[in-house]
Amino acid sequence: MTKLENPVLMATIGGAQGLRGEVRAKAYTADPAALGDYGHLHSMDGRNFEVLEIREMKNMVVVRFRGINDRNAAEALNGLELYIERDNLPDEELEDDEFYYADLEGLEARDDKGVSYGTVTGVFDFGAGDLLELKGPGKRPVLIPFSEASVLEIDLEAGTLLIDPLAAGLVDDPEEAPKFTPDAPKKKK
């Protein structure tokens, strides 16, 4: 049983494919067929999965894991999320302006005046573009667009994001920015 320190979601298993224990999976990698290149995949309940074969099929991959040899065993994996340790991702292949979404979690979102809007607690894609979830102490989480207009700079070493609160939809008027709290009602004009 392996407990991951900094897990990164790599794939979600769908239904069984055929009779030999293969499963369909949604891979969250740039190249879906490279899912097996990251080493063993892990589930949050501690199980390890070694990819034996992988092939692409429409919008997913079909994977055969070591020890999953029949349809019943494959069906039991339906919905299982598979992770790797963050340290297993290849940093040397990234360009200067590239990063992994997992590295954004924990960064503090600040505006150009130094006002904090919370910490990034998640990155989501509901189909219309990526969103960052910000959560501050004693505040409800808010979602902001992860775009060049709202996120101006990412400084992984300093642990901060420079945001434009107006473009991010956090304030209606730039003069309100320093007084912003997600739980306070906004003034009507």
Residue intervals of the chain classified under CATH 2.30.30.240 are: 101-163
Question: Two tokens at 15?
Answer: 């239904």
Give the DSSP H/E element, type plus range, for residue 71: helix 71-75
Q: What does the pLDDT look like over 56-72, one tens digit per residue? A: 988 899 999 999 999 99
Q: How far is CA 82 from CA 77, 85, 161, in A?
A: 10, 11, 28
pLDDT of residue 3: 75
Assign domain 7-87 to its CATH architecture: Beta Barrel (2.40)
Q: Which CATH superfamily is domain 101-163 in?
A: PRC-barrel domain (2.30.30.240)
Name which residue leads in pLDDT, 3 or 81: 81
CA distances from 95 to 9, 27, 90, 92, 98 (A): 21, 22, 11, 8, 5
Cα angle for residues 143, 80, 66 (degrees, 5° grid): 140
- Residues carrying CATH 2.40.30.60, the chain: 7-87
pLDDT tens digits along 134-180: 998 888 899 999 988 999 999 888 999 999 988 888 887 766 655 44
